[in-house]
Amino acid sequence: TNTLCPSTILGHKVMSNSWSQEEVEATVADYIEMLILQMTGQKYNRTVHRRRLQRLLNGRSEAAVELKHQNISAILQEMHCFWIPGYKPRGNYQGLLFDVVESHVRNNPIFDKAALSAAQIPATVPIAKNFSKLMVEPPRLKQSTGEKRGKYDAKRPITVTKVDYVEREARNSSLGLAGEKFIVAYEQWRLSSLGSEKLAGKVEHVAVTQGDGLGFDVLSYDVSGREIFIEVKTTSFAKETPFFITRREVGLSKAETERFYLYRLFDFRNDPRFFRFQGPVDSHCKLDPLIFQARFS
């Protein structure tokens, strides 16, 4: 059974002076344009985009535009789409905003093609200039505040796009393999930098040498020589992008609480970084069951 480990969205109160249809349409169109550029590897300047957009709005401040962009990220996250990493998802958005984002995503063939290409394009192992600066703090698990994501919560469930782009990227075996190789190299560097050259030479990419049914991808060691089990999850997008994890991997994380580590690589193609956590996965993020096995006995 696969489950999805989503990141938690921070709630935020919506402005009392709700944005007009024209303002929302212009803001979403600008965000989607930047996101398509992001997904296709083209450069853009967020400040230039914001200033151009502000000329189309009703005197909205820079902070107000920033928040609206974060609201759009929250909606895209809930729809299992990618979003712009620089705009961290923030929920409790204007209901009209959801409708406009959904319309753009569902009816824009360029967006669909760009998102599919970004999810499926093969990956190679990037060269790390300085392994010592790649690990960051993991996202904090937020407790639910009881706030609604938008006015449509009580009327209909959040829908997803015709393609689950996050799930499609998770099935990108080339990306997954490249991420695992990257962490093998990191672990070899980590142990060598601690003076354990012999242990560094024993780091094993078990997903390749023994198969992918073990519940982890990389066999490594702590400085005492004790084995540790590393599961690697890789995305080319934001730090908070949800990931998929199997029942076997979750079970191993609970059975080997002291030796199981999950490494989450993000922004892999452009500026690879990662965070990690130890022990039971459900202690660090919320697990949503997505796939069930149907049996007759």
* 3-class DSSP string for 221-273: ECCCCCEEEEEEEECCCCCCCCEEEEHHHHHHHHHCCCCEEEEEEECCCCCCE
For 266, phi then psi, to 5°, come to: -140, 165
Residue 94 has a pLDDT of: 86
- Model confidence over 281-297: pLDDT tens digits? 999 999 988 777 777 86
Q: Coil, strand, or helix at residue 205?
A: coil
Residue 20: half-sphere exposure toward Cβ, Cα within 13 Å: 8
Please give the model's pTM, rounded to 2 decimal places.
Answer: 0.84
Say how far apart CA 184 and CA 15 lie, in whole Å.
Answer: 47
Q: Is 237 exposed, middle or buried (0-12, 13-18, 19+ CB in 10 A)?
A: buried
What are 119-177's pLDDT values in tens digits? Answer: 999 999 998 879 999 999 998 877 654 444 444 444 445 555 667 899 999 999 999 99
**Tens-place pLDDT, residues 68-79:** 999 999 999 999
Q: With cut-offs at 50, 70 and 90, classify the pLDDT of residue 17.
A: confident
Of 161, 168, 170, 150, the residue nearest 74 (C-alpha): 150
pLDDT tens sequence across 197-207: 999 999 999 99
The token duo for 174 is: 């080339």
Q: What is the pLDDT of residue 128?
A: 83
Which amino acid is located at 229 in the chain? F
